[in-house]
Copies of this chain bind each other. A is one copy, B any other.
Amino acid sequence: MATDCSNLHVNSERLRADFDALSEIGATVGGGVSRLALSNEDLEARSWFADRIEEANLRVKDDEVGNLSGLLSADDPDAKTLMIGSHLDTVPNGGRYDGAIGVLAALECLRRIKETGIKPRYHLEAIDFTDEEGTWKSLFGSSGIVGKISANDISDNLHDNMAFRAALYRAGIMLPELQNARRDPASILGFLELHIEQGKTLHEQQFDIGIVDRIVGRTTYNVVFYGEAAHAGTTTADERHDALQGAAAFIIAAHKRVAEEFPEGVTNCGHVSVTPDSFNVVPAEASLRIEFRHPDTDSLKDMEARLIQLAQDCAGTYRLRVATERVMHRGAERMSGYLARQIENACRAEGIRCTPIASYSGHNAQIMNQMVPAGMIFLPSVDGISHNPREFTDWRHVEIGANVLLRTILQLTV
């Protein structure tokens, strides 16, 4: 193209004004925000986003799972689409940056390109995905686009889905049409997402940008140790089959083993309970809920096998039985190397410090990556605080990230 875009940058003041305005929608007293997916606040944020799209003379589009987009079309109607975006929904009393900043930066990039008169060779789409946080079903919108959502998902027998169905209906999302949200992979050039890190790495190591090379896989388990209830006074230590001792040993050993053998992995035991749950009765059952994550799918499977073996070993040591039940599994994603290099080139051109980084939280980019090349740009989170009103990213980093995103878009499409 003839237009010189080597020094094009976003309008930081305009982006900031959008951020401040959006932060008011669902604002909480502590400086946080509550925009649960499909709530009044979420719908108000979408309506506000649609207004911004129209104001920028972009085209408003929504789809069958409720994703809402602003479109800047290429001259060639058969051109592929480069999708850019994130989510406007939040956890209860969450932060202002998580998700929002990615949608607003995508919009700002399209606006800036449009007003500059640049004509990209590909359609550009700035998208807000429905329910990333899982108020109803996590990563719902992106899962719809890759063809993994249908009416069946909202009718399973495991959950009471009535309120979810009502929330969808109220938002104009019809169950029989959900599956039509699926896009043809051949129609999409790729996907880019700007997001805060939600961890401490970039902040502590003073990087301006992280280029996500991998998004962790996550596996969750119910683990139940079975022993024997007994009188806590008259039953000697040797005679006991204390389910809680086995569970406690497993908790300690699981963290130790992950630290020693899977330095890139993390684990958490977030729930424990015992029966009969009485001061003076040796626990007959101890139930745990444990999750583990790894940025490499093979390592994640190794972790799974090792941790199951460990649970059995701990059960053996304390003369217990153990039952392990896999609740959920999502494989790790290796992000597009091509897009990562494009983002890195953009960082070089902007003269800022960047680093490859693994994401330990889930994102729409990992779903999109299952279908098309996807890339992710991380911004530093101060002290790694997220899902919290104290979530904070320096505006300087938001501006840098938006400019890296803009430059990457231009590299790919102009």
> In the bound complex, how far is the Cα of B55 from the Cα of A312, in angstroms?
61
Any chain B CB within 8 A of the CB of A119?
no
Q: A249-B252, A251-B244 are in contact. Are A268 and B200 (CB under 8 A)?
A: no
Q: Are B236 and A266 in contact, CB atoms less than 8 angstroms apart?
A: yes
How does the 8 Å CB contact mask read for A260-285 relative to B, with 1 for contact and 0 for none? Answer: 00000011111111101111111100
Residue in chain B with minimal CB distance to A292: B232
Contacts of A286 in B (CB 8 A): 272
Q: Are B198 and A231 in contact, CB atoms less than 8 angstroms apart?
A: yes
Instruction: Looking at the assembled complex, report how far the CB atom of A148 sits from the nearest CB atom of chain B, in whole angstroms.
Output: 21
Contacts of A255 in B (CB 8 A): 237, 242, 245
Q: A235-B384, A384-B235 are in contact. Are A268 and B282 (CB under 8 A)?
A: yes
Contacts of A277 in B (CB 8 A): 270-271
Any chain B CB within 8 A of the CB of A218?
yes
Residue in chain B with minimal CB distance to A216: B233
Centre residue among A235, A242, A291 by max chain B CB count within 10 A: A235
Summarize A's interface: helix, strand, loop or mixed.
Answer: mixed
Q: A252-B252, A291-B232, A384-B235 are in contact. Are A270 and B266 (CB under 8 A)?
A: no
> In the bound complex, how far is the Cα of B7 from the Cα of A65, in angstroms?
92
Any chain B CB within 8 A of the CB of A21?
no
Q: A249-B252, A280-B291 are in contact. Are A244 and B272 (CB under 8 A)?
A: yes
Q: Are B386 and A231 in contact, CB atoms less than 8 angstroms apart?
A: yes
Out of B270, B273, B279, B291, name the residue touching A283 (CB < 8 Å): B270
Q: Are A233 and B266 in contact, CB atoms less than 8 angstroms apart?
A: yes
- Count of A residues near B, CB < 8 Å? 53
Centre residue among A200, A233, A274, A384 by max chain B CB count within 10 A: A233
Q: Are B279 and A271 in contact, CB atoms less than 8 angstroms apart?
A: yes
How does the 8 Å CB contact mask read for A227-248 relative to B, with 1 for contact and 0 for none? Answer: 0000111111101001011011
> In the bound complex, how far is the Cα of B266 from the Cα of A277, in angstroms?
18
> In the bound complex, how far is the Cα of B231 from the Cα of A384, in angstroms?
9
Q: Are B274 and A274 in contact, CB atoms less than 8 angstroms apart?
A: no
Q: Are B259 and A270 in contact, CB atoms less than 8 angstroms apart?
A: no
Residue in chain B with minimal CB distance to A244: B269
Out of B199, B237, B251, name the residue touching A266 (CB < 8 Å): B237
Q: Are A218 and B245 in contact, CB atoms less than 8 angstroms apart?
A: no
How does the 8 Å CB contact mask read for A178-198 relative to B, with 1 for contact and 0 for none? Answer: 000000000000000000011
Q: Are A272 and B270 in contact, CB atoms less than 8 angstroms apart?
A: no
Q: Are B239 and A248 in contact, CB atoms less than 8 angstroms apart?
A: no
Residue in chain B with minimal CB distance to A236: B266
Any chain B CB within 8 A of the CB of A392?
no
Q: Are B234 and A384 in contact, CB atoms less than 8 angstroms apart?
A: yes
Contacts of A216 in B (CB 8 A): 233
Contacts of A218 in B (CB 8 A): 233
Q: Are A271 and B266 in contact, CB atoms less than 8 angstroms apart?
A: no
Out of B251, B278, B291, name the residue touching A270 (CB < 8 Å): B278
Sampled A-B contacts (21; CB under 8 Å) = A197-B234, A198-B234, A199-B235, A218-B233, A231-B361, A232-B291, A232-B293, A233-B293, A234-B360, A234-B384, A235-B384, A244-B251, A244-B269, A245-B251, A247-B248, A248-B251, A248-B252, A270-B277, A272-B273, A272-B274, A279-B291
The 8 A-B pairs at the shortest CB distance, nearest first, are namely A232-B268, A199-B234, A233-B360, A248-B248, A248-B251, A234-B360, A233-B361, A198-B234
- Mark A residues whose CB is within 8 Å of B: 197-200, 216, 218, 220, 231-237, 239, 242, 244-245, 247-249, 251-252, 255, 258-259, 266-274, 276-283, 286, 289, 291, 293, 360-362, 384, 386-387
